Amino acid sequence: MPNNLHTLPEDWIEEVVNLAAECMVVVDRDGIILYINQAYCEFLNVTEANAAGRPVQEVIENSRMQIVAKTGKAEVASIHPINGSEMVANRYPLFVKGELVGAVGTVMFRNPEEWLDYSRRLQPLLEELKYYKTKFEKELYSKYHFGDLIGESPKFTAAKRLAERVSDSHSAVLLLGASGTGKELFAHSIHQASKRNHAPFMRVNCGSIPEHLFESEIFGYEEGSFTGAKKGGKKGKFELASGGTIFLDEIGDLPLQMQTKLLRVLQEKEIERIGGRAPVPLDVRVIAATHRNLEEMVRNGQFREDLYYRLNVIKIDIPSLKERIDDLGPLAAMLLKKLEDKFHRPKIQMPEETLSLLRKHSWPGNIRELENVLERAVNVMEGTVIYPEYLPLYLQEGKRQSSSEDPHSESWELFGRKPEPLKETMQKAEKKAIIDALAICGGNKKEAAAVLGIGKTSLYEKCRLYELSGKELFYK
Ligand SMILES: Nc1ncnc2c1ncn2[C@@H]1O[C@H](COP(=O)(O)OP(=O)(O)OP(=O)(O)O)[C@@H](O)[C@H]1O
Ligand SMILES: [Mg+2]
């Protein structure tokens, strides 16, 4: 049977064309309209009978169809002013048996709103794609190794040595340490140093998976095991980690019911998909981590004792930054190197007075907090030297933050640093404005006061308050 448009009933062809291109026009070599479809006529507010046979530029304002029909050069996604708005049009030369016979025009978007609406609908899809792509890459491959773990203090070295020694064992590892101490880095490094490093490293954040999704995420499911189950079923994290390592992060946040399910897998060393038939034997190394006090949770009935013992075969305590304050210098140096690359600011220096202030702090947010403090300093500083004034005020004053006295310490640890009181925030903004004004005016206080719109006496007072008399700051 031949396959061309003539095999279609005649009255179908019109409909097919209308569906394929909502607005369409065909002209001959002289730009005379041979055909224009209903949708285009409605858009132009003309009748088909009126439009056919007329020069295209008379019917379609600003048309270039007659030009394309002559030059034979296509114009794709061309902006076309029409009816006081702009549409996006495609114009293609029409070749029949190798000869240019005219042109075909279609409209992609009738106005910018249509295009915007389309791109608005596309945008979340693109973002979603990007999100899953990075998530997938991040989860599947471990990025760090022991060489990335900076620190020479005895406690840290002991933890690192133990982790290195046990990396090739099959036994479960439990990483304990406060927020931001490097638990995730340790987990990556252990996997990387093991013979499993060619297989996946799967991270599961036990605190963030909704309870009703936990089972299908962790164990996977067979096709048709529940309504909404995907065709072909889905592999769970344990199966995906096969031959490699599963990192159960924030294990202390796992709800009790889920703890029971996890325990069963660890005990039986086999995994059963939801709705699955035969259980599959499991070859996965388990590393768990938490900043919580699991022993206390066990005592309070919040964490299953039997699961705790299963996970706690090799316990590694990662010291807080405060316990290894001598490592702060090398850590800061490494972090500054990273920041130099990130912000394209070479040769950043940190004078001893800044370092000694940093050493006085108690660092409840540990290395993540240090990272944040340094990144902030690099953002606000002028020049290449991190003077103490580029540190947050709570560090400049060398105040000790005692997390045990602060009822919000846990929640602000999550953000990396504590929000400052409003007064301090405003003072900092004021100080920064004065520094900027003085720098712009080359240290001339009279001019700076004028720039700031305040009196000279008031500026003198504020300079005294913020100890801003040092001219060296402005004459670098
Ligand atoms: N010893 C180290 N050397 C270099 N960088 C480190 C070290 N430890 C931690 N970091 C850096 O500090 C940051 C926090 O580390 P990580 O995410 O591993 O902490 P965590 O203990 O998992 O924290 P949380 O409990 O908040 O999840 C990371 O950006 C990491 O690169
Ligand atoms: Mg972590």
Is the pLDDT reported for residue 476 higher than 50?
no
Please tell me the distance from the alpha carbon of residue 317 to that of residue 198, in angstroms, as a whole number: 27
Is the pLDDT reported for residue 227 higher than 80?
no
Give residue 409's pLDDT.
Answer: 56
**Contact (CB, 8 A) for 362 and 322:** yes
Structure tokens at 241: 């980690």
Ligand 2 centre distance from Cα of residue 401 (Å): 22
Question: pLDDT by residue (tens digit) across 25-58?
Answer: 999 999 999 999 988 999 899 999 999 999 999 9
Question: pLDDT by residue (tens digit) across 317-354?
Answer: 999 999 999 999 999 999 999 999 988 888 899 999 99
Question: pLDDT by residue (tens digit) across 275-324?
Answer: 777 788 889 999 999 999 999 999 999 999 999 999 999 999 999 999 99
Any idea which architecture 141-317 has in CATH?
A: 3-Layer(aba) Sandwich (3.40)
Ligand 2 centre distance from Cα of residue 378 (Å): 24
Would you tell me the crossing angle of helices 328-343 and 366-380 to the nearest 10 degrees? Answer: 50
The fold for domain 5-109 equals Beta-Lactamase (3.30.450)
Instruction: Please indicate whether residue 62 or residue 466 has the higher confidence score (pLDDT).
Output: 62
3-state DSSP assignment of residue 58:
helix
Phi, psi of 177 (to 5 degrees): 175, 155
**Contact (CB, 8 A) for 24 and 16:** no
In the structure, which protein residues have their CB atom closer than 6 angstroms to any atom of ligand 1? 148-151, 177, 179-185, 291, 334, 367-368, 371
The fold for domain 320-419 equals Helicase, Ruva Protein; domain 3 (1.10.8)
Contacts of 83 (CB under 8 A, 6+ apart): 61
Question: pLDDT by residue (tens digit) across 88-132?
Answer: 999 999 999 999 999 999 998 888 788 888 878 888 888 888 777
Per domain, the residue ranges of the chain are 5-109, 141-317, 320-419, 421-476
Instruction: Decide if domain 421-476 falls under CATH 1.10.10.
Output: yes
Please tell me the distance from the alpha carbon of residue 106 to that of residue 67, in angstroms, as a whole number: 15
Give residue 405's pLDDT.
Answer: 53
Mutate to test the pocket of ligand 1, among 150, 185, 253 (most ligand atoms within 8 A of CB): 185
In 141-285, where does DSSP find H-type helix?
A: 154-166, 183-193, 211-219, 237-240, 256-268
Give residue 50's pLDDT.
Answer: 92
> Averaged over 219-228, what is the pLDDT?
75
